[in-house]
Amino acid sequence: MYGRDAVSQIITFGTMAAKAVIRDVGRVLGHPYGFVDRISKLIPPDPGMTLAKAFEAEPQLPEIYEADEEVKA
């Protein structure tokens, strides 16, 4: 069967965990592994953890963010 009536559209999307986002963005921006690893280890390993939730759950994250210009970049 061919034609417009036999075609369907499929959409997919992906999401990334907060820890993976930190690691990938740090790598792409060229930050040293140790720098990125130190920050990513502060993110709690809970399922569904977002960056917003991590900032609320881990007091060191907002402190590092405010104190270090490289983290803001």
**DSSP assignment of 1-12:** --SGGG------
CATH architecture of 15-72: Orthogonal Bundle (1.10)
Pull the structure tokens for residue 8: 């369907």
User: Is 90 exceeded by the pLDDT of residue 57?
Assistant: yes
Could you tell me what percentage of the chain is helix, strand and coil, using 3-state DSSP and rounding each to the nearest 5? 55, 0, 45
pLDDT at position 2: 80
Cα 21 from Cα 36, distance rounded (Å)? 10
> Quick one: angle between helices 18-28 and 33-40, nearest 10?
160
Q: What is the pLDDT of residues 1-52, one digit of tens each?
A: 788 788 888 888 888 899 999 999 999 999 999 999 999 999 999 999 999 9
Mean local confidence (pLDDT), 50-61: 94
pLDDT at position 52: 94
